[in-house]
Structure 1
Amino acid sequence: MNLQSPTKVVPNSDTCVVVIDDDTQFRESLERLLRSAGLRAQGFDSIAEFVKSGPPDCPTCLVLDVRMPGRSGLEFQRDLAAAGSALPIIFITGHGDIPMTVQAMKAGAIEFLTKPFRDQDLLDAVNVGLARDRARRENEESLSALRARFEELTPRERAILLQVVQGRLNKQIADDMGITETTVKVHRSNMMHKIEAASLPELCRMADRLNLLPKKAERS
């Protein structure tokens, strides 16, 4: 297999490429290719075997044969979507067609490769898939940490946060809540510190990520 290309996969043991293909010889050749490029690879001969083992706990990309005994690759793609899983998928097939390709790509596949394909085409697609899953995991971890910080706010701090991000001034918030403006300032300062927002724009972005902002009415 020819790996001489200007595009290289950066070795990363904290990622994993899962190859699911019932053709043992072909599957093992893909695993060797991936490992030669510095990637950790796991091979399975069926979707059922992979599901039984569970996905790796790291940025992951699936290299998935379209047609296999039991669940097909496209059916498994639908299963993952229904379960809310965003694992990136690269489809490989020996007998693809345009409708099948369109279906897979519309459902979010990274690439649809028809055998025989260039090694580098697969490696390039794997790079995209791993980068996408890494970004997704980092975003989920960041959002989880943000939710945890929001949960630590007192009910009054949360109420003030909601008014602040809607553009209310301290005096207006004080009048609405029946407290002094000084008290609002103290709670606001504590809230900003706890949620780790350095500015009002940053606080607004956090509130947006937490879906705290009221939805804008759709224009008719």
Structure 2
Amino acid sequence: MITIDYSRRPEDYSEPFDPEELMLSRISGAARREVVRKMIREGRMNEVPEGFDNPVLSHDERRAWARYNPSFLGGEYLPPCREDEVEIARVTIRSTTFDVVSVRAKSGKDRISYRINDEYNGDNLGEKHTRTSVRPLTLGSLLDFLIGAWSLYESVEWNYPGDLEGQLGFFWGESQFYPEFDEALREKVTEGFYANQKREE
């Protein structure tokens, strides 16, 4: 059994130094990000269509991209990062359009500001979807912030009631700053599942 270090915190939230990794981190669309990443790995960066690696797509570009598959829209309706803001984690839901929830951080003079964004102008978020800290968040604090602002437990239970395997297959997490982010999310969902089962007994 893997022991997750919830006290781990990154030194800072600096963007990648590698220009290709920096470009990938700024692409909001999950499917587009993976397509461009694959082309980079295969040495075909020069074949990426013009504008395909932009952080966000225009309305017409999104419509054209969605014609291939509705799931390709995942992340495409997230608001763009603000100046000097970095995405520190994201969760993708395996809904029809693969909706994405993104956690961003911006370092200021004395404090770091955080905000959580969804693809519905915040309609799926609670009131406490912003916060600040002096130092980067620990993994545990990041999860508390995310789960406190966005009803992940309710989402997985609604789609897969009483089915832990289905719930764990309904989402995945990504973070360049927190290597254990996905595993920690799964552990939290598993704990929530069994706690809910116990309440219903």
TM-score after normalising by structure 2: 0.25
Q: Which has the higher contact order (CA 8 A, sep 6+)?
A: 2
Which structure's residues are more often helix, by fraction? 1
Bigger Rg, structure 1 or 2 = 1
